[in-house]
Each structure stands twice: as structure tokens, then as C-alpha cells.
Amino acid sequence: MRASQSYDGERWQFRDLDFELSAGEIIAILGPNGRGKSTLLRVLAGLQRPTSGGVHLNEGTGFVPQEFSGSFPYSVLDVVLMGRARHIGLFQTPRKIDVEKAMVALDATGMAGYARRNIDALSGGERQLVLIARALAGENAILLLDEPASALDLKNQDVVLSLLATLADREQLAIAFTTHQPNHAVAVADKVLLMLDQARAVFGPTADVMTEANLEALYGVPVRSTVLGSGELMETAFVPLFRQRNRRGSRP
């Protein structure tokens, strides 16, 4: 893509942003609140036209928003079957193969046992896993996810990140996801896009982009990196140094 986006012609969410997403590749997109990460995903998904430039997509795209809102009490299976829309003819009902594909997608996210449950009865994290299953059921070559692990506990964050890695490696899906967690990017992303401000972005291989200096510039707080773990579980982790205060309101 090479595109720019502004709602008022003065403040730009991104400007002359130029990058490619290839099959089997994972890109993590990081930026402060309000920088335009969700807008960028909607432009990539074809849900919103950019102010200038454009996006060229070679394959079908599955989009996973941060949350699901529906007017009816859909079952989990019904929600996932919505992802099969492009495979189902106009005025046709889901076929046996559509239900099977939906159940495979639910199984991949560990939600098969919830198929008959009401989507509104699930926790925020469980609904997020269902939305990922919906995108998988569509058999798209490109998967775009807006903060897919933000509502998940640590175990399910690992489930989602591992799933994304598997989909990229085994299924050769092209995946882009937004996150506020630098460690998620380090864990699975091949490349990282840092949305610094209206006109500046840093894009490249994860090891080159994910540095203390870049993250400090991105978030405006000191960030330090360290290597944790042992054996095959060695990983670089980034830790923010928050400006903590004591009970009297002054910095220690």
C-alpha cells in the first residue's frame, strides 16, 4: 500500500505510508492511542477509502475488530458462519460444508465447545476468540486483527499469538495486527510498523525496529530491554519505566 489518511485535511492519521504484506509474513503495528492504527487496518481491509493513494489486495481479507456488537442474540456458531458469507450464494442458507468450516475455525481457537452459546453471554476475551474464528472460517489469505489480545489473560494471549504464528507458517496467511504490547510484536512479528506521528513512521524487520530508542520516541516514556528465559524460551522483553509516585504524590 501507499496511502494517506486525514479526516479534516489538517491532522493526518498517516501520510505517504508505504509498505507491503507478503504471504507467510506477520506485521505488528504499534502506536499511541489516537494515532490511527485502527483506521489503518480499516483502510487495508477495504472498509474505508484513504484520503489519497490506495491499497492493492491480491486475495480475500478477513478483518477482526476489537469487539462484536449485534442487534440479535446470535449463537457463537452463527457469528462464525458470518465469516462464510462470500462462500454462500445470495439468499442461500449455510451448507453442511460451511458449518464444518466454522467448527474447524472454532476448534482452532479453542472455542468449539461454545458453538451453541449466546455470543452475549461470553466474556470479552472469549468473544475476541470467536471473532478470530469468524475470520478464519472465511478462508481468507490475509488476516487483519485490531488489538486481538487486548482483552485476554496471559494464557489466552499465548494461545492467540501461537495461533497467528501457526497460520503464517503452515497456512502461509499474510497477517497484520495492532497492539499496545511491544512484547507481542517481538514474540511473533517478522516486521514492525511504528506510527510515530502524523508524517513519520518506522518500518522494517522486528530486530531492527524494536529498540529502546524507537519505543521511547513512540510512547514518550523510558523503555528498557532485557533478555529473559532459558534454553529455547529465550526472549527479548521490553519494560516501561513508569513515573511512579508515593502516597504523598511526589516522585520517589
pLDDT digits (tens, 9 = 90+) for 60-100: 899 999 887 767 889 999 999 999 988 887 778 899 999 99
Quote the pTM value. 0.90
Residue 91 within a domain: yes
CATH assignment at residue 7:
3.40.50.300
The confidence score (pLDDT) of residue 197 equals 84
User: Which residues in the chain come in under a pLDDT of 50?
Assistant: none
The confidence score (pLDDT) of residue 251 equals 57
The confidence score (pLDDT) of residue 159 equals 87
Residue 79 within a domain: yes
> Measuring CA to CA, how many Å separate 123 from each of 105, 110, 118, 153?
19, 14, 11, 11
Produce one character per residue of 43-55: b if its CB has 16 or more CB atoms within 10 Å, e if not.
bbbeeeebbebeb
DSSP result, 168-192: HHHS--EEEEEES-HHHHHHH-SEE
* Element counts in the chain: helices (H) and strands (E): 8, 11
Residue 224 within a domain: no
Report d(CA 247, CA 252) in Å as an integer: 10
The confidence score (pLDDT) of residue 248 equals 62
The confidence score (pLDDT) of residue 58 equals 73
Residue 8 within a domain: yes
Among 45, 68, 75, 170, CA closest to 129: 68
The confidence score (pLDDT) of residue 183 equals 96
Residue 116 within a domain: yes
Residue 80 within a domain: yes
Q: Give the domain extent around 171.
A: 2-207
Residue 179 within a domain: yes
Residue 87 within a domain: yes
Q: How many structural domains are present in the chain?
A: 1
User: What radius of gyration, in Å, describes the C-alpha atoms of the chain?
Assistant: 19
Query: Is the separation of the CB atoms in 23 and 171 below 8 Å?
Result: no
